[in-house]
């Protein structure tokens, strides 16, 4: 049966997910996916930083009541079948805001530029462990562990990192949920043979892209039209920012939340299910 994959993107203890109400709405989305027997994936920013607002919350900080409440939400998501992944550590650098900024080196940067790592980082274990890329990965993993959570995969913020840093990240996580830079338009799971210092690194792509906040209707139509052209062996994989669903979810004081049937996410899910696509868990690939 043709496969589909969905990832909920940029979920962290800040931004659109600061309030208890929006965390409830996130769980409403999870309940809907669970009711449809749709496995789903959550790209977690474990430490959310907004320098301009003085915000710095980490799921690994047990003394931060705000972050602890968010961590409880992540546990509730896993109870509903979510697979969690590390979406960088802070998904930002310098004065940039989490979920907006870059975290690893990339060409063309002119402001808040993350550092690159030396090729020497790949030559010895001691240098590897001192590298910037390894430190970001290890801090993200430590935050997950402190929160009692287990990540299944890694996703590089904006899919951007230098070649040296990519090799470091591949050595840390051999399952990477993003487009393979060697075959960026692939519709299947691929790998980078002999590029990682530990061998193959498997990449799970998102060839359907995502729904943009300013182009919701157009992107929903684009994804539907594109998936109709996919073959049975093509992976109908896309990611979605859950806050786009929040206007369609209504919290009621004396009743369960009401979730509009015509929301963009529901439209995409139902289209794929009705056309014979089966949503799968990334580890089942």
CB count, 10 Å around CB of 238?
22
- Please give the average per-residue pLDDT across 61-81, as a whole number: 95
Q: What is the pLDDT of residues 82-125, one digit of tens each?
A: 999 999 999 999 999 999 999 999 999 999 999 999 999 998 89
CB count, 10 Å around CB of 211?
23
CA distance 88 to 47: 9
For the chain, percent of residues with pLDDT exceeding 70: 98
Which residues on neighbouring strands pair with residue 47, listed in sequence order?
58
Q: What is the pLDDT of residues 143-187, one digit of tens each?
A: 999 999 999 999 999 999 999 999 999 999 989 999 999 999 999
Q: What is the pLDDT of residue 192?
A: 86
Q: What is the pLDDT of residue 196?
A: 59
- Give yes or no for residue 271 having a pLDDT over 70: yes
- Give yes or no for residue 194 having a pLDDT over 60: no
Mean pLDDT for the chain overall: 95
- In the chain, the domains with their CATH numbers are 3-284 (3.20.20.370)
CA distance 83 to 80: 9
What's the whole-model pTM score? 0.96
| C-alpha neighbours within 13 Å on the C-beta side of residue 124 | 4
For the chain, percent of residues with pLDDT exceeding 90: 91
- Helices within the chain (DSSP H only): 20-35, 65-79, 125-129, 132-146, 163-172, 216-227, 264-274
- Give yes or no for residue 193 having a pLDDT over 80: no
Q: What is the pLDDT of residue 92?
A: 98
Q: Comparing C-alpha atoms, which of 138, 121, 141 is closest to residue 130?
A: 121
Higher pLDDT, 255 or 204: 204
Confidence of residue 212 (pLDDT cuts 50, 70, 90): very high
* Phi, psi (rounded to 5 degrees) for 209: 70, -140
Q: What is the pLDDT of residue 71?
A: 96
Q: What is the pLDDT of residue 139?
A: 98
275 by Cβ neighbours in 10 Å (0-12 / 13-18 / 19+) ranks as middle
Pairing of strands 55-58, 82-86: unpaired
Q: What is the pLDDT of residue 175?
A: 95
- Give yes or no for residue 197 having a pLDDT over 70: no
């Amino acid at each position: 049966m043709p496969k589909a994959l969905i990832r909920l993107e940029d979920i962290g203890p800040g931004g659109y997910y600061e309030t208890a109400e929006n965390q409830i709405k996130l769980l409403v989305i999870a309940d809907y996916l669970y009711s449809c027997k749709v496995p789903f994936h959550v790209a977690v920013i474990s430490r959310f930083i907004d320098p301009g607002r003085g915000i710095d919350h980490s799921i690994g900080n047990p003394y931060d009541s705000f972050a602890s409440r968010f961590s409880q939400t992540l546990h509730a998501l896993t109870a509903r079948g979510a697979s969690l992944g590390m979406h960088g550590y802070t998904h930002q650098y310098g004065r940039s805001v989490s979920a907006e900024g870059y975290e690893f080196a990339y060409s063309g940067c002119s402001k808040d530029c993350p550092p690159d790592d030396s090729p020497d980082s790949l030559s010895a274990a001691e240098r590897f462990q001192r590298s910037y890329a390894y430190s970001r990965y290890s801090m993200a993993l430590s935050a997950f562990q402190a929160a009692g959570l287990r990540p299944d995969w890694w996703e590089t913020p904006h899919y951007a990192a230098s070649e040296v840093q990519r090799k470091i990240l591949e050595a840390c996580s051999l399952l990477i949920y993003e487009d393979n830079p060697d075959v960026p338009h692939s519709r299947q799971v691929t790998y980078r043979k002999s590029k990682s210092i530990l061998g193959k690194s498997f990449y799970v792509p998102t060839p359907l892209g995502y729904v943009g906040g300013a182009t919701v209707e157009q992107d929903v139509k684009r994804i539907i039209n594109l998936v109709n052209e996919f073959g049975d062996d093509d992976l109908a994989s896309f990611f979605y920012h859950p806050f786009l669903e929040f206007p369609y979810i209504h919290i009621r004081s004396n009743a369960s939340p009401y979730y509009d049937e015509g929301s963009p996410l529901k439209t995409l899910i139902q289209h794929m299910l009705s056309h014979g696509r089966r949503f799968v868990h990334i580890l089942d690939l």
